Amino acid sequence: MRKQIAAANWKMNLSLTQAEKLVTDLQNQNFSIAENQQVLLAVPFPYLIPVKQQINTSHVEVAAQNIASTTNGAFTGETSAEMLNGISINYAIIGHSERRLYYFESNETLAQKINRAFEFNIKPIFCCGEPLEIREANTQNDFVEIQLKESLFHLSEAQMKGFIIAYEPIWAIGTGKTASSDQAQEMHAHIRQVIAQKYGAEIANSVSILYGGSVKASNAADIFGKPDVDGGLVGGASLVATEFAAIISTLKK
C-alpha cells in the first residue's frame, strides 16, 4: 500500500520554546504509527535542527517548508536543497499556495525547485489546488491538471514513483471551510488519472495524494477514509498536540 502521510505545516508560527513544547506534547500523546505511515513536521528553518534532535522515532521526520529554485550563489535570504541535505533533511513542501500567492512562485519556478530537491535527495511534497473563482466556474480539474503538467511532467518514472502531492483547494485553507470528502475524492481521483495517463497506473497508484485545507480531528477520518486520499497536510490543527495526534490516528493502516 502506498504511504499514508500526516504532514504538519507550522507555517511561520511558534517561538522556539513553544515549538519544543509542541513536540514534547505530541510525543506524549498516545498514538502509534504503522509501517505504511509517515508523520512529517514542516517547521520554520531555524527549528529544523532543534526539532530534529528532539524527535525520537524514524516514523516522524522534519521537513522544510520551501527550498530555493537555484543551486547556490548570490541569492540573499534563500536556502538551498544542498544545505538542507547537509543537515539531513529529507522532505520539503514545494509550491504551497501561500508561496505562489505572496512570493509569485510560478509553475515553471516550482519545476526548478522540484529538480533541486531531487538533486539533493529531498522528497518534495508538491502542493496544487485552485482558488475560489476557479471552483465556482467548475474548471478546477483543468486548473490542477495544468499545475501538475507544468511542474512535474518532466520527471522520470523513477522520480514519480512514490511521489507526494498535496491537493489544497485555496478556498479551504485557514478558512474553516473544508472541501467535502466527496469533493476531495473526486479531485484526488482526477490527479491520479492525470498521472496514470503519462506514467501508467502502477506509478500513479504509488503516489501519495494528501488533502489539505482546514483538516481537523473532527473531519480527518471522513476525508482520509476516501480511497484516493492518502492523508493530509495540516496547518492550524497541527499546532495543537491533541488535535494532530488524533489526525495521525485516522490515517489508513
Q: Which residues bind ligand PGA (CB under 6 A)?
A: 9, 168, 173-174, 212-215, 233-237
Q: How far is the CB of 11 from ligand PGA (least distance, A)?
A: 7
Q: Compute how many other C-beta atoms are within 10 angstroms of the C-beta atom of residue 8.
A: 25
Q: How far is the CB of 214 from ligand PGA (least distance, A)?
A: 4
Radius of gyration of the chain (CA): 17
Residue nearest to ligand PGA (CB): 235
Catalytic residue among 61, 105, 130, 168: 168
Q: How far is the CB of 76 from ligand PGA (least distance, A)?
A: 26
Rounded Cα distance between 81 and 89, Å, is 9
Bridge partners of 164? 125, 208
Closer to ligand PGA by Cβ: residue 4 or 203: 4
**CA end-to-end span of the chain, whole Å?**
9
Q: Which three cell numbers stand for residue 181?
A: 470528502
CB neighbour list of residue 12: distance below 8 Å, 6 or more residues apart: 44
Q: Is 96 a catalytic site residue?
A: yes
DSSP H helices in 130-216: 132-136, 140-152, 157-160, 181-199, 201-206
Closer to ligand PGA by Cβ: residue 173 or 207: 173
Q: Is 154 a catalytic site residue?
A: no
Q: How far is the CB of 234 from ligand PGA (least distance, A)?
A: 5
Closer to ligand PGA by Cβ: residue 72 or 180: 180
Residue 220 contacts residue 252 (beta carbons within 8 Å)? no
Catalytic residue among 96, 98, 188, 190: 96
Q: Which three cell numbers stand for residue 170?
A: 485555496
Closer to ligand PGA by Cβ: residue 6 or 234: 234
- What is the set of active-site residues? 96, 168
